[in-house]
Amino acid sequence: MPPDKRAVQAVRSIIQTYYPSQAGKVANVVHNDPIPGLQTQRNGSGSAATGTINVGRYFLDHIANFARRVLQTGHELVHIEQYRQNMTDQTEREFLAHCWTALMPEIQGTGCVRSGDRLGSADCALRFWNCLSSQKQTQYTRIAPFYDCTVGITFFLRVRDAFEKLVRRYGITFCSVADIGCGTGLFACYLNKCWGVPVYGVDRSLEMLRQARRNCPGVRVCFLQQDIRCLALPSPVDLITANFDTLNHLNAPQDLRRAFERVAANLRRGGHFYFDILTPCQPLNGYRVYVGDRCRVGNWLQQRVRWDPRRRLLRMRAVQRRVGSCRPVVERITERAYSAAELGKWLAKAGFTIRGVHDEATLRSAVDCPPRIVVVAQKAPGGWKSN
């Protein structure tokens, strides 16, 4: 088959296989060799609008990066839906479509999108965001929040890679999940889209949950505002996850013990608890973190972390600087570090068996004392009863 026909067939096949419910949006797929990927032309207007997708040779030559090509095709389907919604601002359309591509998890069975491609899509989205009017920038501030622009996407990719490796290593299977301390919802959305399971996203912050709902529209993620010390899911689940210092925000040991009990109570028997946590092995002099804002040149986030070894407390001072703002925004956070020995004792008392403790940076077994660890625990058959 000639290359032009193979390129057209590749796009048609992706739509039929991975987006069958949206196939009616596509009027035609045609070959247009100079195009470095895909490009869609509008046909008609309003709710009946369709699109003609143009595909170039580049798409076919790089079909081996299949997960990326599948999301690239989905990107064009997002544009057709925008046509149906009469979205006239091209900059706004491109911003939203690139946001979708940057944050949408891989469709199951298509492989993995390289982290560099993810960040490239995020950069494209943020460049278009910079070209929006100030009114629309304000409107979409929560879709591209300051946190996600600086550390959120990068850390999400790291957490996702670690999760996938350890799930395979321990043979963990699950049909339902809760992500506690879900924040902006990136990991909860990933669990639903990539693993095809219903997810509860739990966070104490109403503002974070509003943001999460914007990041995960139209997916099977139920967001709940709850304190994890009083966790009460509508139904028990097979897996509960807690990422990015969620448990370190519990500064009192009795609060962490109570959280372990509530996690066990909301897990099915034999279910797993997957979490990361900071340990007492922190740099004595603390450390600084400076991150440039991927959203806008001149914005930045600086964190100064001080370690109090006697109280096992990390005191964080985060300074956010925005272009055009008279003064930076300062936020102070206190977290408590917990040792592996403490965790083991309290998890056992809550009815868990620890299957593995890993250095978060390398995923090797934590034989020494790394500053951050990932723990994989399983609820024992005779553990706490569910709600």
Inside any domain, residue 131: yes
Query: For 366, phi and psi rounded to 5 degrees?
Result: -80, 80
Inside any domain, residue 385: no
* pLDDT score of 71: 94
Q: Are residues 233 and 250 in the same domain?
A: yes
* pLDDT score of 197: 94
Q: How far apart are CA 349 and CA 354, in angstroms?
A: 12
Inside any domain, residue 368: yes
List Cα–Cα distances, 55 to 31, 34, 60, 110, 117, in angstroms: 5, 9, 8, 20, 19
In which order are the strands placed within the sheet that holds 50-55?
26-31, 50-55, 38-43
- pLDDT digit string (tens) for the chain, length 387 residues: 888 999 999 999 999 999 999 999 999 999 998 888 899 999 999 999 999 999 998 999 999 999 999 999 999 999 999 999 998 889 889 888 887 888 777 888 898 888 678 777 877 776 676 677 877 766 655 443 444 544 456 677 788 889 999 999 999 999 999 999 998 888 898 898 889 899 999 999 988 898 788 777 666 899 999 999 999 999 999 999 999 899 999 999 999 999 999 999 999 999 999 999 999 998 877 655 544 444 444 555 566 788 999 999 988 776 655 555 555 566 678 999 999 999 999 999 999 999 999 999 999 999 888 999 999 999 987 644 445
* pLDDT score of 144: 39
Beta-carbon-side half-sphere exposure of residue 212 (alpha carbons within 13 Å):
29
* pLDDT score of 380: 86
Inside any domain, residue 320: yes
Q: Helix axis angle, 3-18 relative to 66-84, nearest 10°?
A: 70
Inside any domain, residue 386: no
How many domains would you assign to the chain? 3
Q: Are residues 133 and 59 in the same domain?
A: yes
Q: Are residues 192 and 293 in the same domain?
A: no
Q: Which of 113, 139, 165 is the last residue of a domain?
A: 139
Q: H/E/C letters for each residue in 52-93?
A: EEEECHHHHHCCCCHHHHHHHHHHHHHHHHHHHCCCCCHHHH
By C-alpha distance, which of 28, 34, 33 is closest to 76?
28
Inside any domain, residue 175: yes
Q: Are residues 247 and 217 in the same domain?
A: yes
The letter for the amino acid at 349 is K
Please say whether the beta carbons of 111 and 67 come within 8 A: yes
**Residues of the chain above pLDDT 90, percent:** 54
User: Exposed e or buried b for every residue in 311-340, given b needs 16+ CB within 10 A?
Assistant: ebbbebebebebeeeeeeeeeeeebbbbeb
The CA-CA-CA angle for residues 89, 91, 97, to 5°, reads 105
Q: Is the dihedral of CA 351, 357, 363, 364 positive or negative?
A: negative
Specify the DSSP element, H or E, that contains 274: strand 267-278
Q: Are residues 275 and 366 in the same domain?
A: yes
Inside any domain, residue 299: yes
Q: Which of 108, 139, 170 is the last residue of a domain?
A: 139
* pLDDT score of 215: 72
- Domain that residue 208 falls in: 146-281+337-379
Q: How far apart are CA 256 and CA 263, in angstroms?
A: 10
* pLDDT score of 98: 85
pTM of whole model > 0.85? no
* pLDDT score of 42: 94
Inside any domain, residue 32: yes
Q: Which of 139, 172, 188 is the last residue of a domain?
A: 139
